[in-house]
Structure 1
């Protein structure tokens, strides 16, 4: 494990590291503690300031970002440093504009050029978007909304990620290659909720007039009404597109296991563990990897079904 402040290796001063991310608002974060002992004149710990560039390596570079926060609880306590990758600029920056007769990849290119962000691999959907409006909206959200439109039409899932200082948009839920079995799972907790349920979709035309409605009566009778709306698009079967907005109960689990850097949010994993009742392919919605005293552990929140990011 290695951490660099700008270009200087400060690994020997770090006491613990947490590297984490989510499949929604996907700016990955790195938090670490720096040993501090102001009473010992021979001990010179590094001073980190807001805006410093932080790089994190575990065999290969996993993270590059900037320091966004630092704190110290007591005079002799360690200094906690928080950093975020460069995606957080797109999450913070606001954009206003109208996109017509275009596609998600062109919208992404335009936004990145506007904010001076370089791109690496922007997945090509070639799916037509007639119109997309952004009114003082986070640039990140505009990109996600564009790819969600492509996702509904093309039945694929996408997510923006940062690769170093460059933005990529990749297909979501690709296999991580990680298989969790009895020997590497320490704990597993399971829950089910209806927080994101959709069992009725009202369909509108471009003028805002309701032209149809689809519903799951069985779900409505059991759980109550949870409605989403869909605006009809040219060349798209409105009923089929609206049906893709249906969501049932959300089944989730939290797994604590020995760490594997491939297991990150937006990817899928395989679990083979009858003791937990989990067996099959699952989708990582958030991850938190800790590195301390030479031990790497991870906590993963997983879902049982693929989902799109809600904006």
Structure 2
């Protein structure tokens, strides 16, 4: 009954999705016993083990013979679509994560430990995912360690992004179909001015090599309680954005936030790259994937003024 399955994710989207194309032949008696899919039903995708568990967001039906597409979101979705109000005092990101997950009834697995106490963080009707990532963004500004939320074994996990390297190599000689590369300086920040709470400049971080090469692109940072300002400002420095898109034989470990090694002689690409987004397709018994890669690991930062 399933013609095609697409499974995808993006480091800035949090929730992974699955789109399933189902045969639709309402007047064919041979198709009368196909399962009926309803809004709120759950979907499990199995590739040796379960790689996705989510809920159908809505359904559609029509009388045309062909296919109907059903879309499901994983169990991160409640964190994205539920809001809460909190006034956190002297708690770590990991303590905040466990607290809000308990409030919404979300089971947790591994929650990355930072040991960073947040003196104060006020959340006024923020979605639960943003609350978690705001807390971990504050830790990132102190430690420089990047974090991401993911669903594993139907539980929420928060992991260090640098840990997600599986030793996967994609090469044109083995499993790589196509490679394209693009670069842009639109995202460059090579000077960050540091301000106190009254708007007075108290410091500055500069990337002299970048300024000489590209000209000056300036950002700003306002000091936050409990965060070393020079470290936080340094983390705002950004290099030119380089994007690498590839199509290859599918591998379920190639998910947004993970890293892969790519070797392609035509584009002279060779090295470790981080997956920004992934789209896996199963059709006619073949598993392929499209990956958008980054030359530098990034985090889905969520900042707060309070």
TM norm. shorter chain > 0.5: yes
Q: Deviations over 1:186-244 (max 9, x none)?
A: 1111111234332332323356654333344664573553424242433x432122111
Alpha-carbon deviation of 1:92?
1.4
- 1:241 and 2:232 aligned: yes
- 1:104 and 2:93 aligned: yes
Q: Measured at CA, do residues 204 and 116 of structure 1 come closer, stay the same or move farther in structure 2, by a change above 3 Å?
A: farther
Structure 1 gap ranges (5+): 1-12
Equivalent residues of 1:25, 1:91 under 8 A apart: no
- C-alpha separation between the residues in 1 aligned to 2:20 and 2:150? 22
Alpha-carbon deviation of 1:75?
1.4
Alpha-carbon deviation of 1:61?
0.4
Aligned residues: 298
Residue matched to 2:183: 192
Q: Deviations over 1:51-102 (max 9, x none)?
A: 0011000111000010013345761121110000010111111222221211
Counterparts of 1:120-139 in structure 2 under 5 Å? 120-139=109-128
Choose from 217, 221, 233 the match for 1:225. 217
Structure 2 gap ranges (5+): none
Alpha-carbon deviation of 1:132?
1.7
**Secondary structure of the equivalent of 1:69?**
coil
Which of 300-309 and 89-98 deviates more? 89-98
- C-alpha separation between the residues in 2 aligned to 1:27 and 1:219? 35
Choose from 271, 277, 282 the match for 2:262. 271
Q: CA RMSD in A?
A: 2.0
Runs of 4+ in 1 over 6 A off after TM superposition: none
- C-alpha separation between the residues in 1 aligned to 2:229 and 2:84? 28
Residue matched to 2:19: 31
Residue matched to 1:50: 39
**Secondary structure of the equivalent of 2:78?**
helix
Q: Measured at CA, do residues 213 and 33 of structure 1 come closer, stay the same or move farther in structure 2, by a change above 3 Å?
A: same
